[in-house]
Structure 1
Amino acid sequence: MTRELPVDIDRSSTVPLYQQLATQLTAAIHNGTLRPGDPIEKEIDLAHRLDLSRPTVRQAICEMVTRGLLIRRRGIGTTVAHQVTHRRGELTSLYDDLLQAGHEPRTELLTLDTDSTYPPAAEALHLPPHTGLVKIERLRYMNDKPLAILCNWLPPAFAEVTATEIDHGSLYAWLRSHGQRPCVAQQTIGARAATAHERRHLRLEDPHIPVLTMARTGFDATGTPLEYGEHRYRADRYTFGQTVHES
């Protein structure tokens, strides 16, 4: 059942009205007044109750959807998103990010293939197209809920890796323990519809929820590529942030 939250709009303030609304709804989420899955009042109802225009209310809701705090679903309406992991534009592992955010990460190994051919990964690793690579596919959980499918390819020099070595913890930590230190990465962020494989493992009941994608190549200090990854995240539980500067 949708609740009417107390919202105080100060029309004498220089803060835009949509921002005042978004700020107070965000505070309600952070302090637990609004919980994951709770429905949000319809735009027309909020506009009428607060004496705001519908475009103003829509702008506030859209901003919170963009930030991953709310989810819009056809036929259901707008609801509070479940726990969302925000990742900074720094070279860190998802496992470490989850730990630092106070979550409990867990890993399930889906695939370990020490002779996998995948030309895009070979190209990223500066190897011939049909080189046999080490393919590691893992399902990362956050507080026992599936968050991401992480698929990585390593050069053949790592073919002796075993399942017990990489079925928990961070891949980057494992690389460092073997004398390889990723120092910089090139990555591309995107979004698309989930495949059947992704919907099954990420438990995406709503076919309209997309996956956030990341393709990343990690390099050591000499510029040698150490790993190539293609990762898919639940877009309702994961956001990626980046700080940009004037050139």
Structure 2
Amino acid sequence: MMYGDSDKLSDAIHVVQSFGLEVEYLVFSALASAIAVTNAEQKNNGVLVVDIGCGTSDYVLYKHGRPMQAGVIPIGGDHITNDLSYGIRLSRANSERIKRHCGKATITEDEKSEKFWSFGDKQIGDKKISMDAINKVIRARLEELFLLLRDELNDFMGNDSIKEVVLTGGTSNLIGICELASAVLGIPCSQGKFDSSVRPNLRHQEFATALGLLEYAREQEANKQSSNSSIFDTFAKFFKR
């Protein structure tokens, strides 16, 4: 059973209904993402899917083919952007650009000395920023995320319940994030992989939830048709007697 803020759910449903559409299913985002980036074997063996979004990180743990635990960590990519903005005194737009194009969760010793120009506060003007400074900000926030995740999954840590961690969502594109997650959680980690049936131009981690929702709806409709066919076949056999 999943719990959520009824007012927020109601507001979201009203928005959809305002476009003349009806909401038939409510699906937790991490469950939808797991549909898109994991397979049945992974879910049976034990896989933790973490969807790192803008404001939150949603997770779901599968074992023996079914969800064992799910939840939300109140840390996402926007927190990293804000940290860079405050910590290095950059505009939010510049912080987001740096995070996307230069940000890394882990860096080498040689990369620590690298510097590049970036336009900061207008009163300061252009300035050189070290890769080491950026990495420390990004790494600190991500380590906090994975430590909180480890605490929430304490009952499953260290007993071989989780064979692997799969990261998805836009923030999972940060270079080195899987290595950092693996180091903190002590579990092999990789980025989500989409089924070959998904068109190449749609295989982006930030699309995982949307793709999973589409697949979920397709499966539900297929189940409905199969159920209706079974009922029809039963009646047909009855009247043939």
**Structure 2-normalised TM-score?**
0.26
Structure number with the higher strand fraction is 1
The TM-score normalised by the length of structure 1 is 0.25
By relative contact order (CA 8 Å, sep 6+), the higher-ranking structure is 2
The structure with the largest helix share of the pair is 2
